[in-house]
Amino acid sequence: MRSKGLEPSFPLRSQHLKLMRLPIPPRPPEAHNIEFYFLTMQQFYLRAGWQKNISVSVGATVEISANSITVDFGVREPQNCFCQNKEKDGTAVCEDSCVEVFLRMMDNSNEYANFEFNSKGVCYAARGKDRENRRELSAEEYAQIVRKPSGVSVENDFFRWNLSVEIPLSLLGIKNVKIFQLDGNLYKCADMAAVPHWLSAFPVNTPKPDFHRPEFFSCLNPKSFGSPDDMIFSRIRDRD
């Protein structure tokens, strides 16, 4: 918010807290000189915070590795909530059916980055202190973001689509991999859909939809503080 038919790889329905053991990835050659190499994976269910009775289901898996953060989104939304028009990076994809990753910068904690994607993987991204004071990514930086859209399928008047995005940690100012806490939030919106809507992984306590509120960010990798041999858990947030 600047404001085919692959099934999701995780459930989109409400679930209770769930723990699972994940395999620890092998230590890559380039990781020999870093303090720790590990992978964390968290699962979230996005919830509508500003309106009720919205039939939009969104699940997201956040995976953090040595060099990047990967977010896999699975979306199911009715036809009147779906919109897909933007074709070029740097355009207002928040007007389309859009999923967003907001992350606090690691080289300047007063700034945060917003990465916004429509169902085609078209991206708008910028960094700055607030909504108004932002620097958009360069063409070279946009090119570093890997996007893997599934395409859109229709089932019983619902549109389903998945999108995987891989964001290099270097775009967040992380130059040397080490134990770190990554704060942010995940969002879904469609500002110009017939039925506009706004969802978030962590609550944003504002009267009107406002994604540019870093004071409501929370930790996206709470289980990352430990050795690579620790058990790593994934968490699914319950829907209200």
Residue at 37: amino acid letter? Y
pLDDT at res. 108: 85
Q: What is the pLDDT of residue 54?
A: 85
Q: Which of 122, 98, 124, 121 is nearest to 113 (CA)?
A: 124
Q: pLDDT per position in the chain (240 positions), as tens?
A: 544 333 333 333 333 323 333 333 343 444 333 333 345 678 888 988 888 788 999 999 999 888 899 999 999 999 999 999 999 999 999 999 999 999 999 888 899 999 999 999 999 999 999 999 999 999 999 999 999 999 999 998 899 999 999 999 999 988 765 656 789 999 999 999 999 999 999 999 999 999 999 999 999 887 554 433 332 222 223 333
pLDDT for res 201: 94
CATH dotted code for 36-219: 2.60.40.1190
Predicted TM-score (pTM) of the model is 0.77
What span, in angstroms and rounded, lies between the C-alpha atoms of 162 and 7?
8
Q: How many residues does the chain have?
A: 240
Kindly report the number of other CB atoms within 10 A of residue 217's CB atom. Answer: 17
What's 15's DSSP letter?
-
Where in the chain are the domains?
Answer: 36-219
* The pLDDT value given to residue 64: 86
Structure-token pair, residue 187: 């969002």
